[in-house]
């Protein structure tokens, strides 16, 4: 249960981290909060030659609003998001989700950038990235590029990041008038990975839902947008009939797989139950952002 030997470099800037990563190739891993990476080292599931520590790079941790979007530095910690007044104001579902990630001691060090770069299908942030149409800014010695979260999560623990890229920041479009969101997850115990979890993000104007986005985590090999359910809800009032139609789409949408304790049938059932609850929560008058 001790980590294998590895070399260590503390990068004092993002440019330095990119240069080190480019020089050392796939034998190097980026270390941010370490709350997922270090357990895999302890269990000897991974054995990098070099850890490039970005955790002390100035300016990569923090939350700000820039024009029409919120920008989160990659090193922003789960606890920062949980307690941010700005996040609570614009994205209450994200603050709520942050409080469900593991336990306080882990939220104090784990980062949103690390979580999205790792792409654990059971984690909250990759699904949030899909539901809130987030963009991800990646840096390398070749320059920067900005990609959409939709399409970023390509397979189990795999993303569209190149081997020499470092996740720099995350951008979230600010909610429009009529925006309504809800979040929920079903767990055996507080802090456990969810059996099923989801974010719903929609716009309600004139009694009709539009631009509905529903993203699930903990049910498949990657975070997944429930596209059929989203289409079923768009244009509806989100009433019981629309909810049932959306729930009926989930089997096709989610490609549910088993976990250690629950069969695909159980997880699909719970995914449907969760969607029903989240739609009720979504349409509560207090959940809709006033025009």
Partner 1 sequence: MTTEHIVNLTLNVNGESVSRAVEPRTHLIDFLRNDLGLTGSHTGCEHGVCGACTVLVDGEIVRGCLTLACQLQGAEVQTVEGLTESGAIADLQTAFHQRNALQCGYCTPGMLVCATALLNQKPHASREEIREYLSGNYCRCTGYEAIVDAIETTAKNRSAGKKLGAAANTTAKEAA
**Residues at the contact surface with partner 1, assessed by CB under 8 A:** 1-8, 10, 31, 34-35, 38-39, 41-43, 51, 53, 55-56, 79, 102-106, 108-109, 189-191
Nearer to partner 1, 42 or 89 (CB): 42
- 63: which DSSP letter? E
Strand ranges inside the chain, DSSP E = 7-10, 28-31, 50-53, 63-66, 69-73, 135-140, 143-148, 153-155, 158-159, 166-173, 179-186, 196-205, 208-217, 224-225
Between residues 79 and 256, which has the closer beta carbon with respect to partner 1?
A: 79
Q: Give me the least distance between CB of 175 and partner 1, in Å please.
A: 28
Q: How near is the Cβ of 61 to partner 1 at its closest, in Å?
A: 13
Return the number of the residue (43 or 162) whose C-beta is nearest partner 1. 43
CB 85 within 8 A of CB 182: no
Least separation in angstroms between residue 45's CB and partner 1 is 10
What six digits make up the tokens of 126? Answer: 């990759």
Nearest CB to partner 1, comparing residues 184 and 238: 184
Q: How far is the CB of 279 from partner 1 (least distance, A)?
A: 26
Q: Rank residues 108 and 237 by Cβ distance to partner 1 and give the closer one.
A: 108
Nearest-approach distance from CB 62 to partner 1, in angstroms: 16
- Return the axis-axis angle of helices 240-254 and 264-282, rounded to nearest 10°: 140
Mention every residue, 6+ apart, whose C-beta is less than 8 A from residue 257: 219, 220, 221, 264, 267
Nearer to partner 1, 60 or 180 (CB): 60
CB-facing half-sphere around the CA of 172: CA atoms within 13 A: 26
92: its two tokens = 């209450």
Burial of 224 (0-12, 13-18, 19+ CB in 10 A): buried
CB of 13 to partner 1, least distance (A): 16
């Amino acid at each position: 249960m001790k980590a294998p030997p590895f070399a260590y470099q503390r990068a004092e800037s993002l440019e330095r981290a990119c240069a080190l990563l480019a020089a050392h190739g796939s034998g190097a891993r980026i270390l941010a909060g370490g709350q997922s990476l270090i357990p895999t080292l302890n269990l000897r599931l991974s054995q990098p030659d070099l850890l490039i520590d970005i955790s002390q790079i100035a300016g990569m941790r923090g939350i700000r609003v820039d024009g029409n979007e919120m920008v989160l530095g990659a090193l922003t910690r789960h606890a920062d998001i949980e307690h941010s007044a700005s996040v609570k104001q614009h994205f209450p579902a994200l603050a709520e989700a942050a409080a469900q990630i593991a336990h306080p001691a882990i939220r104090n060090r784990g980062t949103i950038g690390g979580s999205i770069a790792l792409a654990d299908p059971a984690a909250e942030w990759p699904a949030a990235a899909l539901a809130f149409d987030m963009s991800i800014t990646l840096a390398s010695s070749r320059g920067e590029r900005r990609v959409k979260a939709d399409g970023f999560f390509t397979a189990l623990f795999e993303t569209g990041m190149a081997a020499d890229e470092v996740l720099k920041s995350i951008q979230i479009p600010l909610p429009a008038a009529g925006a309504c969101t809800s979040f929920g997850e079903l767990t055996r115990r507080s802090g456990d990975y969810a059996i099923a979890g989801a974010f719903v993000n929609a716009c309600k104007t004139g009694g009709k839902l539009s631009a509905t986005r529903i993203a699930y985590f903990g049910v498949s090999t990657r975070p997944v947008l429930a596209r059929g359910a989203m289409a079923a809800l768009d244009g509806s009032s989100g009433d019981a009939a629309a909810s049932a139609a959306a729930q009926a789409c989930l089997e096709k949408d989610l490609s549910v797989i088993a976990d250690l304790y629950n069969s695909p049938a159980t997880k699909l059932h719970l995914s449907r139950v969760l969607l029903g609850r989240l739609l009720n929560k979504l349409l509560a008058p207090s959940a809709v952002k006033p025009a």
